[in-house]
Amino acid sequence: MMIVMKPTATDEQVAAVIARIESCGARAHPSRGEEVTIIGAIGDREHVARLGLEGHEGVEKVVPILKPFKLSSAELKPGERTVVDVDGRRIGGEHFSLIAGPCTVESRDQTLTAAHMVAAGGASLFRGGAYKPRSSPYSFQGLGQEGLRLLAEAKAQTGLPIVTELLDARDLEPVIEVADVIQVGARNMQNYALLAEIGRAGKPVLLKRGLSATLEELLMAAEYVLKEGNPDVLLCERGIRTFETAYRFTLDLTAIPVLKELSHLPVIVDPSHAAGRRALVEPLSLAAAAAGADGIIVEVHPEPDEAICDGPQQLRADGFAAYAEKVERAAAIAGKVLSNSPA
């Protein structure tokens, strides 16, 4: 249920409604807009309905949230967009974020070179996997803790916040020590226990769409994080499985405006994993930025031909600045400004 407060409602009245919601075992998720405060009451619908919140002081109306996803639903924040702040870099609303870095952390030299080059080229955040979800158990699985240490060094040297994947809840502690944004990979989108754990960790989350997941399933996955009280979820379209085999995955650009209709959460696009090859990454990035994506996450490597994984799709780091400039211009078409320094 959604409790819409009157524009004149006081903080005390909002607090009283929250306490009342919590008194029946439901959770209250207030969302303070410019005009009104809306409180999402998530719990047993019957119990919440029986509270008689309509008659409470400061309450305008009580309405059901019609969609199965509740906290991520646009209904809860009418006309408003969630803006996630990562160390002063903003993502969402009119703020565009360029997340760049190698597929995986391979060595100190490769990581630091990549970080310096994308920082100089205008990146907002640095990406790199220390734990890698590989299709084959015989492939390189990531440097693990040593990889996290290198990411921390890259941040210390460049100031770029870190986006890195958490594969297993048992690695949560070391990962949150280094990550400014925790990435949930496509293959883990429906790992609900992991999502809830991350929700409780209180770090922003980049949630990738599963290879065959519908947008509703993606939003239901986001709900697992939001429900734990973590409001900072970035939805990521990274290509889905279709009958087409001419490229790695089909980048679903329609997901950008549709997710924005359905949800207030920022939408990030990963052109690298969709494309599977370098030549496609720039056109897909430009299309995504012009279509209103709130950010791009792109793989960049100093020497892609030597990369341990995903070499063919990684942009060459020496071309990153020119690429970033074009993406920035495409984002401007959608009315967005690159947020690449602390606000």
Q: Residue 166 and residue 162: Cα distance in Å, rounded?
A: 12
The distance of closest approach from Cβ of residue 191 to ligand PEP in the complex, given in angstroms and rounded to an integer, is 12
Q: Residue 236 and residue 58: Cα distance in Å, rounded?
A: 37
Residue 333 DSSP one-character state: H
The distance of closest approach from Cβ of residue 306 to ligand PEP in the complex, given in angstroms and rounded to an integer, is 17
155 part of the interface to ligand PEP, by CB under 6 A: no
The distance of closest approach from Cβ of residue 70 to ligand PEP in the complex, given in angstroms and rounded to an integer, is 26
Task: Candidates 186, 201, 235, 281: give the one binding ligand PEP (CB under 6 A).
Answer: 186
The distance of closest approach from Cβ of residue 187 to ligand PEP in the complex, given in angstroms and rounded to an integer, is 6
Name the 3-class secondary structure at 9: coil
**Closest residue by beta carbon to ligand PEP:** 185
Task: Candidates 185, 295, 302, 304: give the one binding ligand PEP (CB under 6 A).
Answer: 185
Phi-psi region of 77 (alpha: psi -120 to 50; beta: other; left: phi over 0): beta
Task: Candidates 103, 166, 181, 262: give the one binding Mn ion (CB under 5 A).
Answer: 103
Name the 3-class secondary structure at 318: helix
Q: Residue 91 and residue 99: Cα distance in Å, rounded?
A: 11
Contact region with Mn ion (CB under 5 A), list: 27-35, 70-78, 160-168, 309-317: 309-317
41 part of the interface to ligand PEP, by CB under 6 A: no
Q: Residue 161 and residue 152: Cα distance in Å, rounded?
A: 9
The distance of closest approach from Cβ of residue 334 to Mn ion in the complex, given in angstroms and rounded to an integer, is 26
> Tokens 């990153």 map to which residue?
320
CA R_g for the chain: 21
**Binding-site ranges for ligand PEP (CB under 6 A):** 103, 129, 133, 185-187, 208, 238, 270, 273
Q: List interacting residues with Mn ion (CB under 5 A).
A: 103, 310
